[in-house]
Amino acid sequence: MKDDLGVGDTEIGWLYGVFALFYAAAAIPIASLADKKSRKHIITFGIFLWSLLTVACGLTQNYWQIFMARIGVGVGEATLTPSATSLIGDYFPRKDIPMAVSIFQTGPVIGTGIAFIIGGLVLSAVEQADPLILPIIGELRPWQQTFVYVAIPGFFLSIFFLLIKEPVRRPSVGPIENKPGLEQLLDFYKQHKATIIYHHLGNLSLVLTGYAFVFWSITFFVRVHGLEAAEASQIFGWIFLVFGPLGPLLVALLAKKLTDRGHKDANITAGMIGGIITIPTILLILVAPSPFWAFIFYAPALTAVNSPFGIASGALPVITPPNLRARVAAGYMLTGAIGMMLGPPLAGAFNEFIFPGYDGVRYSMITMTIFFGLIGVILLGLGRKHYALSIEKTDDWAVE
């Protein structure tokens, strides 16, 4: 792709960065709709849109065309998390919401693993196949064909999603229930200001660390260990698929056990522990002497790197009034998307300008993991007592 588009690592990183920016920005108005309108219809439209724009990524002819198509993919995917968080908040009792959201968050992890596997298989197949020539569009290169093929299942999934049941919304409760919508939202943030700051910024740092690590993992194996991209993608994908979903589930179980023992900061503490484990497990990969050992170390690393994100989302609905849950989820998405947006291009810039050369990606990932990983852990640690206070405030009025 870099050769065909004539760009460097930084520009390739921004193809993920611009997706993350619009993914978060579009979530704000979409969340306002999700707090009032049919959430399953919003998600159905979003799945169709992001599938259509993924196909468009494969039909582009230059960098700026795919840049714009990635914006559209981000807008489509922005429908999912706010709407799904609101749905889950109405499907489950309050005490089970963190676990339910964590299970939901394993979906993107499983999907990422499958994407690497299928992407690697498709890339391997199209590299051996004759060029695909389409009327008007012309020749599609292997990376373009990969976009088109992996988008097709989304069209069928959008139809399937219409079959789910829309739950009855829980009534709005709490000290802000009688205020206008925007005033309610602002009052919520004022009441839980310290909790939101430490939660959002701590998880932003861990998101930045995780996305930089995952985004450049295949490049790491290609440049440092000399593997073919298709081979590395498939091996990485299987490890991601098996071990990645364990992280959110294990941390959610830890949070539940801590909650059952009376720890009101459980949801933040569990995420912090996941962040602590992430740092050494990533470093083991980056200093591994061979691709075999690097892949072995990826098992605990991918468990750890994915572990905080389910509980990060699940920690918020339990302190949020039902009629604000989609918008509060979107607010966290905006913060998390900064990490998603900056992680890959920042690591790409490190590759190009700080640690140039094929082996530089190793040192870029080491630097970012230590720096941003530690910041995330420290901020979550500082936020524990504030989250406990938020839980105590909410216990007075929450509907179980």
User: Is 203 a domain residue?
Assistant: yes
Mean pLDDT (whole number) for 224-253: 89
- Report DSSP letters for 336-352, one per residue: HHHHHHHHHHHHHHIII
User: Is 177 a domain residue?
Assistant: yes
User: Is 400 a domain residue?
Assistant: no
User: Is 136 a domain residue?
Assistant: yes
**Total structural domains within the chain:** 1
The 10s digit of each residue's pLDDT in 163-206 is: 888 888 876 655 555 554 678 888 989 999 999 999 999 999 99
pLDDT, position 386: 96
User: Is 31 a domain residue?
Assistant: yes
CA angle 272, 273, 279 (to 5 degrees): 90
Q: Which tops the pLDDT comparison, 130 or 37?
A: 37
CA distance 52 to 234: 25
Q: What mean pLDDT, rounded, does the chain reach?
A: 87
CA distance 239 to 348: 24
For residue 320, what are the domain limits?
Answer: 2-395
Between the ranges 7-16, 34-43, 172-181, 191-200, where is the mean pLDDT highest? Answer: 191-200
Q: Which of 72, 81, 83, 79 is nearest to 36 (CA)?
A: 83
CA distance 72 to 67: 9
- Centroid of chain to Cα 187: 27
| Range of lowest pLDDT (25-34, 41-50, 374-383) | 25-34
Reduce the DSSP state of residue 37 to 3 states and report it: coil
User: Is 291 a domain residue?
Assistant: yes
- The CATH number for 299's domain is 1.20.1250.20
Residue 109 pLDDT exceeds 90:
no
The alpha carbon torsion through 96, 101, 102, 108 (nearest 10 deg) reads: 160
The contacts found for 129-133 with CB under 8 angstroms, 24 or more apart, are none
Residue 400 pLDDT exceeds 60:
no
pLDDT above 70 coverage of the chain, percent:
94
Length of the chain: 400
For residue 138, list its beta bridge partners. Answer: 134
Q: Which tops the pLDDT comparison, 227 or 135?
A: 227
Mean pLDDT (whole number) for 300-320: 90
User: Is 313 a domain residue?
Assistant: yes
